[in-house]
Each structure stands twice: as C-alpha cells, then as structure tokens.
Structure 1
C-alpha cells in the first residue's frame, strides 16, 4: 500500500483536507462534505461570539468550536482560559451530537472548569454563570454564550 503525503497548507503545516460531515467527522476523499470554517480568521470577541452562537443555533457545534479555537489562540493571556473553555464546551456538544456521552461529559466538565474563574467579571458579556449552570443541569438544548 502506498503512503499518501500528508495534507499541508501553504506554510507547510499539516492540515487535514479530507471533507467533513456536519459534526466534523472525516469523510473519504472525494465525498461531498460540509464547508468548514476557515482557520486563523481574526475576529473581534463580539464577532467570534456571534458567529459561534450562529453555528451552535444551526446545530454545528464542531464549526463553532473552530471559531472559538481561533479566538482562544488570538486572545490576550488573561482571557485565554475563557476562550479555551468555550471551545471545549462546543467540542462537548459535538460529542453529545455524535452520541459519545463519556467524551461529552469530560469536555463539558473541563470547559465549565475553565470558564468558572471568570464568573464574577466575565469579559465580552459571556454568560459564564449561565453556561456553568447549563453544564451542571444536564447540558440540554443550545447554550447561550452571551447574556441578554
């Protein structure tokens, strides 16, 4: 069997160019997949939260995770764990949708722990208290990332 070269971006970093389904699962090369979120898109925090919420509302938690992961990577140090936790919540929802309760519980719990320290003074209107309550209450329905 011949080894196929790894997918690489213009800078030579490994990227998986396989098409993905709506929950981010890889499909065979050549299959019709769902358009992925572009990586490394700089967004203001309000824009990242709005885009992630739109994707969550559309039932695309994997894609919301990609938006939140970009925000995490670009965030100033004092906010990094907030964005990391939000991305983990989206991954947890992805596991819920994929039927993986164990993975869902692990990621949702980890995400809630990472955002908890921001409860008293949450940046960007993030509803930290509501999200932590949502996780501890069984994580049903679509979470609201921002208050109001």
Structure 2
C-alpha cells in the first residue's frame, strides 16, 4: 500500500481531522477493530476546572491514567492562557503514569519528571499551591518519587495502586 492509500484509510472526523476510532484498553493502547475496549473520553469537552479535577481523579482511581490525561489535555487546550502550563503539566503526570504502567520505564520516568517540573514552575510563578483543590506540592513529590522508583525497579507499575491523590 502506498502512503497515499494509508492516508485515505485513516479514520477521520467530520472536519477531516485524523481520529483513531479503534477501541482502546484502560491504558489507552489501541485494540483491534471490533475488540472490546473501555469507553473513550470525548475530546474537546469544555469543563469547569473543578469538573476537570473531579473527572481526572475518578479516572486515575479507576486505573485509567491515559484517559485522565485526555481530560487534562482538554483543560490545557481550552483554558485560560495563564493556566495552560498547569494543565499541561498535569497531563504529563497522567501520561507519565500511563507509560510507567505500560512498562515504558524510561519514558514514564521522563514524563513524570517533566510534568513535576511544569507543575512546580507554574506553582512558583503563581504563588498558589492549591488551585481548584489541587495539592501541587504533593503531586510534585509523588511524581518525583514514582519516577525514581520506576527507574530503579525497571518494571511496570499498577496504575490503580500508584494513582495520585490530586487534592487533600
């Protein structure tokens, strides 16, 4: 098949943007078409910040950090400019946990540290460590400790058992 043929076979939304309609497992890995996956998070949803935090927390507790990352990504892309670094950092923490749970220890540790740095930098710039009830110092600590453990043990982690508590 040529590249043009591969491109034409891709899933597209009504606007022609590429979308992957394949079902996904709880860690966001694509499954074969027709397979049994978990419900997908709708993309581009506008939520109040408190709704974002509550929905992401529920997904993390359910062992679905990839899906929590998508919720944070919506806030990052649609929120006010001054909060985008916060939401992007939180999305990186969730996808870091995703990679660590999939067994990608190098990528997981890297994303956990990157997200921790982004959250910490945002917090320092704002002087606010609990926006929307988020425990930012606790999340930074969690991410760095998990990154160190993931690198040391070089083994997949349990996403439910390692899910962070976003607030107090």
TM-score (norm 1): 0.92
Gapped regions of structure 2 (runs ≥ 5): 148-160
Looking at structure 1, the residues matched to 75 and 17 of structure 2 have their Cα atoms a distance apart, in angstroms, of 19
Considering fraction of residues, name the structure with more helix: 2
Gapped regions of structure 1 (runs ≥ 5): none
| 1:15 corresponding residue in structure 2 | 19
The partner residue of 2:30 within 26, 50, 68 is 26
Looking at structure 1, the residues matched to 29 and 134 of structure 2 have their Cα atoms a distance apart, in angstroms, of 28
SS at match of 2:91: helix
Q: Write out aligned runs for 1:94-109 (5 A).
A: 94-109=98-113
Q: Can you list the C-alpha shifts for 1:29-82, whole angstroms capped at 9, x where unaligned?
A: 121111110101110000000000000000000110111100111111111000
Greater RCO structure (CA 8 Å; 6+ sep): 2
Looking at structure 2, the residues matched to 101 and 115 of structure 1 have their Cα atoms a distance apart, in angstroms, of 21
Q: Please say if 1:137 is aligned against 2:166.
A: no
SS at match of 1:48: helix
Tell me which stretches of 4 or more aligned residues in structure 1 moved more than 3 Å.
1-4
Looking at structure 2, the residues matched to 18 and 136 of structure 1 have their Cα atoms a distance apart, in angstroms, of 33
Looking at structure 1, the residues matched to 139 and 24 of structure 2 have their Cα atoms a distance apart, in angstroms, of 28
The partner residue of 1:85 within 77, 85, 89 is 89
Q: CA RMSD in A?
A: 1.5
Length, aligned pairs only: 147
